[in-house]
Structure 1
Amino acid sequence: METACATCTGLQQHLEKPHQDHESEPPNCVRWVNTTLPHLRASSGGCRSCALLLQGILLHHGRFASIKEDRIRVTAETLHSTTNASQDHLSVELQWNSHEDDCDEMSDHEHEECYPDLKLEFFTDQDGQSSFSAIGRGRHIIQNPLQDTGIKTVNNMIRQCKGNHSLCRDSNPDFTPHRLLDLSVADPSKGICLRESGDDANAEQAAHEYFALSYRWGIGRGMPQTTSKTLKAYKKNIAWDTLPRAFQEAVLLTKSLGVRFLWIDSLCIVQDDPSDRLRASLELNDTYGNASLTIASTSAVEPTKGLFAPKMETFKVQVNDSKGSLSKVYVREQPSHYSFKKASDAGLPMNNWELLSDASREANARTPLLLRAWAYAERLLSSRVLHFTDSEMLLECREAFQCECGRIDDAVFDPRKTDTVKQDFAQCAALSDTNGHRRMDSVVSQLAATSLSDGTDDLSTALANPLELWSYIVTEYTSRNITYDTDRLMAIAGVAKTLSRAISTGYIAGHWMSSTLGLLWYPNEGAQCRRPKQVAGRYVPSWSWASVEGSPIFFDNSSAMDLACSASFSINGSQNIFSPFSGDAVELRAAMATEVVFKEDAPGEYSLSRNGISVEFQPDIVPLRGEDTIKSGETLVCVLVSMSFRTSILGLILRKSRTKAPTYRRIGRFECYECLQDRSDEEPEDAEALFEHWFPDVDDMTQLDERPRHVFKIV
């Protein structure tokens, strides 16, 4: 009678399976191994299947070479998906980082704390059989996308998207970029050339589809750029050997997929012409939105590193079973889908979600393009993006993800949530102006009618509105890196232009004119913040989130109670102005505004006081410096805007401008959770007590709309 290994049951499904706690095991899962690495090593001396597992793990020893083996826990599971019948590999997970949170509780740091430190897969060919029945089929990852199998895979992905997704159609099918690279030359080694839509000989350009490239510039050393000096020459020829490897591979891929034209920003924009760069930034939504495909060099730090990153190695292991039968088993690190996965709860407001850019250090290192602000905007605007990573190819479109391993959206293989902001963005952008206006009206009415007694469920429909989505996009966008301060509003202009279909009001310097609550932004890390450099002709006002650099920007978009505060923009009387790069003053009219005394309690710690009652205060810039410098004892203005569902009071702190009286500058967002009696050891009072201490003349909060307004012009 065959004896089963106590550690792994021989990885044979016909033998008695190891004891399992069925209540704790996930569905569709059979766990074969749950032990430590030293125990597996000891067991491998007398068990062929344990030896196979150990061999596959040690092939990846570089990942845990500095870790003591007794800290490493090993589990091996067979997962059965009801939607992915083409693979049933053995999943082997290694965990060595300690964590206090129970993974089953789905903590806020789920994919950092609970996702295994190393996840391997053991599999056979699609038509092969293993000597160990627990090891089933898997999919091979294509090493060279330019080979026939690679081109076929990409074509199949694009065909499936085009055939099934209505949102993935061109946003403006009549649009053609002003310049495109023409790849029609039979031999690319002889070079390519730049075509302009105004050239009489190239009228046919408008009739062809084109691809776009998204990549990291890196240091940009030696990279070809179209300038006023090279423009004429590039229309004749751009020498092949001057193109960095990523450009060359993008050209070859585009031609292999049967497309003649390619858009690359460094070559299709005249880099030393400010007016051309401005035009291109305002057309970014059309340029990427109408590209049939955006090719993304997602794992490369710069173009010289190439588009097709070397893949993680797949090892082939020859194994014998107890009867001497020989078979092949493949072992590789399972594609982790990197920063396309996030820990989030769909029931939470967007700004309570974990930032996608807060993925693990390793994930960020392996997908550096995803950490760039320009690339984030390009990704949102594109109809479909083909990501090339060191793991696999992924196609991200306006409705779904596709990947080579086929598991990115399969919760059986990976329970982490896939980031859906691109899909949410596409759905909002698909709203017509009329529908968008009607939708926004309903949300505004809903917020105005909401009282403190209402629960958050009453705002469930508001979580999907375009303003909420915009706030989340800005939060993700500002968490990414950008080289030049002057590009911050420029890079996101195309995103705003696209969302303007759903938000039918004016847009100024990153802010939508319909949203007073949008002024309640705040930097996540004030100690990392600074004011951006101003450019002649472009002024970023202090009320705009773009007036602060160095930290992700968060927003307070939902209000439990409106405190009778409104904002208006007096720009030529227009409500639909689109001024994406600069702005002037906003007029704030508030029923509850008062002077307060600023105090510096300790280095980097501040408070505001009135009538013997103090509240902690966090300015936008910490420590206060430059034009934000405030002396302790100086008088500021506190303008209350709303009450949150967190039972905190929200508002803005203003300071009279030193140069443009009687205008004001924003110093920071105000949020009061509790208020303290000055020089007293008494317990703090809750936030609502602030009303009676700072506004004793307000007898009835329900009558705020009847009170006279204080008016502040904020620049």
Structure 2
Amino acid sequence: MASMCETCQGLQKHLQVFEERDQADRLAATQWVNTTLPSLRRSSANCRACALLVQAILLHHSRFSGADEESVGVVVESFESSTVEIAQDHLSIEVRWKSASNGVDVQDEIKESYPDLKLEIFTDQNEHSPYSAIGPGRHIAETFLDDAGVKASRDLINECLTNHARCRHVKPHVQPATLPKRVLDVLIDDPSKGVRLHESQYDEVEEHYEYGEYLALSYCRGIGRGIPQTTSKTLKAYKQGIPWASFPRAFQEAILLTRSRGFRWLWIDSLCIIQDDPLERIAEAMNMGEIFGNAFVTLAATSSVDTSQGLFPPRDPPFRLQTSDISRGSPSKVYVREQPLHYSFKTSFDPCTQITDWELPLNTSRESDVQTPLLRRAWTYAERLLSPRVLHFTRSEMILECSEGYQCECHRIENPTYDPRATDPIKQLFARIADATKKAAKSNDEQMDGVTSQLADTSITETRSQKREEALQIWTYIVTEYTNKRITYDADRLLAIAAVAKTFSKFLDSGYIAGQWTCSTINLLWYPNDSTHCRRPKRIPSRNIPSWSWASIEGSPILFDTASAMDLACSASFSSKPHDRRSAWSPLSGDKLRLTASMATDVSFRADSNTEYSLVRNGVSVEFRPDVVPPRGADAMDSGEKLVCVLVCMTFRSSIVGIVLKESKSHPQVYRRVGRFECYEVHVDEKEAEPEDAEALFSYWFPEVKDMMQLDEGPMRTYVVV
């Protein structure tokens, strides 16, 4: 009788020795191996199952070829099909090498992070494996346009339409979709006629274009070469027909998929917007909420860096491994492939926590860039939010992202059994705001009640101020992620997010100027994640971006303070007309801001080093981080130069936060923002004593203030900030 392998128990379920554990853990997963690759190699000399595992790992050796093999950890698990969907009986191999540290036992770290490589071994459906731990795997279509691929995409979308209340599709004869101004007619009835540009008929009485179901395409332009564009010169010819050979691969595949799904209309920005008409480009950008919001589904070339790589990235077929079934005396085959990647759609934090505690920005790693380049683009981030459904085509599978969550071909993206990380919730949070706004009653009171009912599951309480605060937190999450994305033309930063802001404006009942909501002074307390990479944008006469707007800083994700423990009697006025506070809509530019505060004072700027700075008053200094480091251009400051520090609030972090202003040399009494100020501790110069708590700042810089609860009744100072 052969002895049981101590490393893997022969991958035989009847030999598995279970440790004492509760029923839930027992049903979730069975761990077969927890060792290092060298140890597994040694065991493979006497165990066929271990040899199979080593072979599967070494087929992917290129992924860790530069790593010290002693640091490569291996965990092998199988899952009980009774707790998950049918046909999920594969064997999972997790390989780690990046997290292992010198001097630390690999096995101690082996479960501390998501694996650097995750493989799965499986059989065909209804096929037998000589190892009972290896069962059938989930089928993934080899190509996107074959029968299996078309069926898979149809199944994902039908699940969304049938079972998601917020996504359920309204029948066209009840509430048909409105076509954009222009769409591509893919001539499904006679594809031999090619493709032509169709201009929708506008009904001036009903104030909308003609009805029709259509798809939209989201893609990376790359360097833009080889992309056909509709211009004032090509418009007439394109309405007659567009040569098939002029379409890049991504456009061709999107057209073929549109036809295969039975749709006639397809929207692609470069062809449906006149590219040499700046006014139309701005108007259609403002209308992106309707264009992508009315599309049946948005097709996303998620794994392609440009249109030449196509909509459908190539898929690596699984490796086929031959094994011996001793009990049957016949050969048997199993397959090994890298588990479909959900990395770019996952978070490293618990989305059930407060938004203010979320770790932002999300997924800044090189792996995310390589696997899903589309998700790193600013324009397509807005398109993704605005679309009711986005069908992502990745290198491993199709992923459907909708207003209520995610689905994928492997059926694991939302299943914590296989991947405990949570999916990125922002599209679902944004969709709830959009949905609540649409369904709310006309009157303001009824509107807020309707919003409350729609947003109950996002923990927004029943007071208007708290609902607004929650919505503003969602907005700041979006801006942080958005400013972490790449955009070809910096001048488009406010334009690309304008349609998203348009949705929020109805919910917040607030004006919106150059990226800033007029209802919130707190949102002025934005700051760059890394000032050393920051720059001010080039000035465009028609689009003035004031220094108080987050869009005035480029080169770094923008973070926000969204919650205040105590207001320090600071207010902002964006217009001399009080009624404009709620109705102002200037999404691309802004002008003067009047900042009025009780606690504002002159301070001296001090450069402690090339990258460290302080603000000094009355012999007391606090650290200061300018928006641009080192300060240069309009932000240039010399040691000893006078600045103004305006305190805005105290935070729950026991810090004092404010805005630092610099007076214009050419326009006295007009100021520019040069940084955000956050004081955690106070340093008394020329003393060796330990720093004092932040609250000591009040007595040193504002000795005249005797009662912090009476700030609103004290003298105020007003600054004009441009």
* C-alpha contact 1:436 1:502 (8 A) present in aligned 2: no
**Counterpart Cα distance in 2 of 1:462 and 1:95:** 43
Partner of 1:448: none
- Structure 2 counterparts to residues 175-186 of structure 1, below 5 A: 175-184=178-187, 186=189
TM-superposed deviation, 1:41: 1.7
Q: Deviations over 1:408-467 (max 9, x none)?
A: 00000000111010001101122236369748999xxxxxxxxxxxxxxx9996698111
Partner of 1:452: none
- Aligned partner (choices 548, 557, 563) of residue 552 of structure 1: 557
Distance change (3 Å), C-alpha of 1:709 and 1:169:
farther
**Counterpart Cα distance in 1 of 2:589 and 2:465:** 33
> Which deviates more, 548-557 or 168-177?
168-177
**Counterpart Cα distance in 2 of 1:62 and 1:253:** 34
- Aligned partner (choices 190, 206, 212) of residue 210 of structure 2: 206
- Identity of counterpart residues, as a percentage? 54
Please report the TM-score for the alignment, with normalisation by the length of structure 2. Answer: 0.91
> Which deviates more, 346-355 or 6-15?
346-355
Please report the TM-score for the alignment, with normalisation by the length of structure 1. Answer: 0.92
Partner of 2:159: 160
Q: Deviations over 1:318-366 (max 9, x none)?
A: 2113333432211100112021011112354435423354343223211
- Aligned partner (choices 599, 606, 611) of residue 604 of structure 1: 611
Partner of 2:137: 138
* SS at structure 2 position matched to 1:501: helix
- 1:47 and 2:47 matched: yes
Distance change (3 Å), C-alpha of 1:534 and 1:349:
farther
Distance change (3 Å), C-alpha of 1:440 and 1:174:
closer
Distance change (3 Å), C-alpha of 1:513 and 1:199:
closer
- Structure 2 counterparts to residues 422-501 of structure 1, below 5 A: 422-432=427-437, 434=444, 438=448, 465-501=470-506
* C-alpha contact 2:177 2:212 (8 A) present in aligned 1: no
Q: Show structure 1 runs of 5+ residues with no match.
A: 104-108, 443-457
Distance change (3 Å), C-alpha of 1:20 and 1:229:
farther
**Counterpart Cα distance in 2 of 1:530 and 1:204:** 42
Q: Deviations over 1:58-77 (max 9, x none)?
A: 21121122223222111111
* C-alpha contact 1:339 1:356 (8 A) present in aligned 2: no
* C-alpha contact 1:380 1:422 (8 A) present in aligned 2: yes
**Counterpart Cα distance in 1 of 2:69 and 2:374:** 34
* SS at structure 1 position matched to 2:280: helix
* SS at structure 2 position matched to 1:258: coil
Distance change (3 Å), C-alpha of 1:147 and 1:691:
same
Q: Which amino acid aligns with 1:310?
A: P
Partner of 2:128: 129
Q: Show structure 2 runs of 5+ residues with no match.
A: 453-462
Partner of 1:447: none
Q: Which amino acid aligns with 2:637?
A: I
- 1:361 and 2:366 matched: yes
- Aligned partner (choices 665, 669, 678) of residue 658 of structure 1: 665
* SS at structure 1 position matched to 2:418: coil
> Which deviates more, 413-422 or 86-95?
86-95
TM-superposed deviation, 1:501: 2.4
* C-alpha contact 1:437 1:503 (8 A) present in aligned 2: no
> Which deviates more, 627-636 or 384-393?
627-636
**Counterpart Cα distance in 1 of 2:703 and 2:121:** 71
**Counterpart Cα distance in 2 of 1:666 and 1:580:** 20
Q: Which amino acid aligns with 1:672?
A: C
Q: Deviations over 1:195-241 (max 9, x none)?
A: 111489xx998232000000000011121111111111111111100
Partner of 2:298: 294
**Counterpart Cα distance in 1 of 2:683 and 2:478:** 36
Distance change (3 Å), C-alpha of 1:99 and 1:319:
closer
- Structure 2 counterparts to residues 31-42 of structure 1, below 5 A: 31-42=31-42
- 1:566 and 2:571 matched: yes
**Counterpart Cα distance in 2 of 1:11 and 1:327:** 15
Partner of 2:118: 119
**Counterpart Cα distance in 2 of 1:556 and 1:39:** 50
Distance change (3 Å), C-alpha of 1:701 and 1:602:
same
- 1:516 and 2:511 matched: no
**Counterpart Cα distance in 2 of 1:607 and 1:351:** 27
Partner of 2:351: 346
Q: Which amino acid aligns with 2:371?
A: R
Distance change (3 Å), C-alpha of 1:438 and 1:25:
closer
- Aligned partner (choices 371, 394, 397) of residue 392 of structure 1: 397
- Aligned partner (choices 415, 425, 442) of residue 410 of structure 1: 415
Q: Deviations over 1:545-588 (max 9, x none)?
A: 00000000000010001111111221654221221100111211
Partner of 2:62: 62
* C-alpha contact 1:131 1:325 (8 A) present in aligned 2: no
- Aligned partner (choices 299, 307, 313) of residue 309 of structure 1: 313
**Counterpart Cα distance in 1 of 2:406 and 2:197:** 33
Q: How many pairs were matched up?
A: 691
**Counterpart Cα distance in 2 of 1:207 and 1:352:** 44
Q: Which amino acid aligns with 2:6?
A: A
TM-superposed deviation, 1:126: 2.7
Distance change (3 Å), C-alpha of 1:440 and 1:349:
farther
- 1:678 and 2:678 matched: no
**Counterpart Cα distance in 2 of 1:503 and 1:590:** 24
Partner of 1:272: 276
> Which deviates more, 125-134 or 229-238?
125-134
**Counterpart Cα distance in 1 of 2:24 and 2:630:** 49
**Counterpart Cα distance in 2 of 1:170 and 1:604:** 55
Q: Which amino acid aligns with 1:68?
A: D
State the superposition RMSD in angstroms: 2.8
* SS at structure 1 position matched to 2:608: strand
**Counterpart Cα distance in 1 of 2:33 and 2:159:** 38
Distance change (3 Å), C-alpha of 1:68 and 1:601:
closer
Q: Which amino acid aligns with 2:89?
A: D
Partner of 2:76: 76
Partner of 1:221: 225
* SS at structure 1 position matched to 2:226: coil
Partner of 1:454: none
Distance change (3 Å), C-alpha of 1:543 and 1:306:
same
TM-superposed deviation, 1:152: 1.2
Distance change (3 Å), C-alpha of 1:16 and 1:275:
closer
- 1:94 and 2:95 matched: yes
- 1:704 and 2:703 matched: no
Distance change (3 Å), C-alpha of 1:347 and 1:253:
closer
**Counterpart Cα distance in 2 of 1:692 and 1:275:** 54
* SS at structure 2 position matched to 1:530: coil
Q: Which amino acid aligns with 1:62?
A: S
Q: Which has the higher contact order (CA 8 A, sep 6+)?
A: 1
Q: Deviations over 1:667-692 (max 9, x none)?
A: 11110000111122221111000000
> Which deviates more, 16-25 or 584-593?
16-25
Q: Deviations over 1:381-406 (max 9, x none)?
A: 00000000001000000111010000
**Counterpart Cα distance in 1 of 2:415 and 2:189:** 42
**Counterpart Cα distance in 2 of 1:66 and 1:436:** 62
**Counterpart Cα distance in 2 of 1:377 and 1:384:** 13
Q: Which amino acid aligns with 2:550?
A: W
Distance change (3 Å), C-alpha of 1:205 and 1:260:
farther
Partner of 2:460: none
Q: Which amino acid aligns with 1:6?
A: E
TM-superposed deviation, 1:20: 8.0
**Counterpart Cα distance in 1 of 2:451 and 2:186:** 48
**Counterpart Cα distance in 2 of 1:626 and 1:440:** 49
Q: Which amino acid aligns with 1:197?
A: S
**Counterpart Cα distance in 1 of 2:92 and 2:446:** 46
Q: Which amino acid aligns with 1:4?
A: M
